[in-house]
Amino acid sequence: MLYLDHAATTPVRPEVLEAMLPHLRDRFGNPSSHHTVGEAAAHALDDARRRVASVLGMRPGDIVFTSGGTEANNLAVKGLSIGASQRAGAPVHVVTTAIEHESILAACDYLERVHGFAVTRLPVTSTGRIDPDALRAAVRPQAEGRPTALVSIGYANNEVGTVQEVGAVAEVCREARVPLHLDAVQAAGWLPLAGTGADALSIAGHKIGAAPGVGVLAVRGRLPLEPLLHGGGQERERRSGTENVAGAVGFAVALERAEAERVDTAARTAARRDAFIARVLSLVPSARLTGDPVHRLPGTASFTFAGVSGEAVLLELERRGVVSSSGSACAAGSDEPSHVLLALGLPPDVAQTAVRFTFGHGGDLDLLPVADAVAGAVAAVRSGG
């Protein structure tokens, strides 16, 4: 079976398992405990924090270990916005886009519904990019009664792979003196993470070969951050709860390896991706590439196949030994068309024909036979065979 759903999750790297095992078996102390076993765990946690910060170009104290990308995004959107609101003494304003991951959009809905915040959801182009000038117009000056407290966008989209012009976005935020949060869950391992201009960055371990259940929110220490979890005050009082030391250690290893391999792997994978896209488009007349044809993740190729069910194509592909998806794993099982594809302007019936192929960080897979399998699967579904 050929697994092409790496945007959903990736296999754990062997070196990550090797690094984690001692902290699951022998060095199992609670890092808050004041004895030698606990102090050894605290040292390992501090070392993991330092290594992650080094890759991200931030300070060790900026790193908050979380349970994954969803928690990291919630902590960024809710924590930074509520923190700013407390400082301002009134509800504030948040800017995001219409194509964000559900964890961003749902967090914004919560702020709007429960706390009375104003939320602007920027539209995107037909390829999924935002207009920096539209962002500039949406940001409210700090002198206003409800100023913009946060801009939160995805560095790269999880469904269609479109990469935003983060340099231009960061420049707008700098001019307006508004913190920028980047959801970098899909970008990690493919795109540069240091020097983006972001004030906060979310990463999920299981997208880069770490174990599920660990993530990071890197957030500048100068920003007021209201915690989601209250209790013992761990993570500099920004995320209470006994830390997942083994997960943090594994995350640090996975992030370092992904960054070390990134430039070479991204180039090799992008070349194979482009050949795959070209072959699918040539073999399947109804196929349409979704997302930006140039500014896209090296490991993502997503299509619609008008006139056939995307789910039926997925089942036929799996019968042929190829596992892929229709989009975000977080929306799996939903009968509704993708909000991302609708925001790109696709009709609902076309959006429901979507199939997404996402490749791992190996970069050496021959994808041309997969393109042939796609053509065969679409033809089989169309003929009812």
Whether residue 173 is found in the same domain as residue 270: no
The span from the CA of 272 to the CA of 327, in Å, is 21
Whether residue 156 is found in the same domain as residue 275: no
The span from the CA of 240 to the CA of 237, in Å, is 6
pLDDT number for residue 384: 80
pLDDT number for residue 330: 55
* Burial tier of 232 (Cβ tally within 10 Å: 0-12, 13-18, 19+): exposed
Does the pTM exceed 0.75?
A: yes
pLDDT number for residue 328: 58
pLDDT number for residue 75: 98
Whether residue 377 is found in the same domain as residue 250: no
Whether residue 194 is found in the same domain as residue 335: no
Domain end, chosen from 205, 229, 257, is at: 257
Kindly report the backbone phi and psi dihedral angles of residue 150, in degrees, each rounded to the nearest multiple of 5, phi listed first. Answer: -160, 140
The overall longest dimension of the chain from CA atoms, in Å, is: 69
Whether residue 243 is found in the same domain as residue 214: yes
Domain end, chosen from 217, 236, 257, is at: 257
Question: Domain range holding 70?
Answer: 14-257
Active-site positions read: 330
Whether residue 274 is found in the same domain as residue 247: no
Whether residue 244 is found in the same domain as residue 147: yes
Whether residue 252 is found in the same domain as residue 267: no
CATH code (residue 111): 3.40.640.10
* Burial tier of 293 (Cβ tally within 10 Å: 0-12, 13-18, 19+): exposed
Amino acid at residue number 127: T
Whether residue 49 is found in the same domain as residue 112: yes
Whether residue 227 is found in the same domain as residue 270: no
For tokens 């992904």, name the residue: 258
Task: Please tell me what DSSP assigns to residue 239.
Answer: S
CATH code (residue 332): 3.90.1150.10
Q: What is the pLDDT along the chain (385 residues), one digit of tens a residue?
A: 899 999 999 999 999 999 999 999 988 999 999 999 899 999 999 999 999 999 999 999 999 999 999 999 999 999 999 999 998 888 899 999 999 999 999 999 999 999 999 999 999 999 999 999 999 999 988 766 689 999 999 999 999 999 999 999 999 999 999 999 999 999 999 999 999 999 999 999 999 999 999 999 999 999 999 999 999 999 999 999 999 999 999 999 999 999 999 999 999 999 999 999 999 999 999 999 999 999 999 999 999 999 999 999 999 999 999 999 986 555 555 568 999 999 999 999 999 999 999 999 876 788 999 999 999 999 999 988 6
Nearest one of 251, 253, 170 to 217, comparing CA atoms: 251
- The helix (run of H) or strand (run of E) holding residue 217 is strand 215-219
Nearest one of 324, 331, 325 to 105, comparing CA atoms: 331
Whether residue 182 is found in the same domain as residue 287: no
pLDDT number for residue 326: 87
C-alpha count within 13 angstroms, C-beta hemisphere, residue 338: 34
Please tell me the total count of domains within the chain. Answer: 2
Domain end, chosen from 241, 257, 273, is at: 257
Whether residue 275 is found in the same domain as residue 251: no
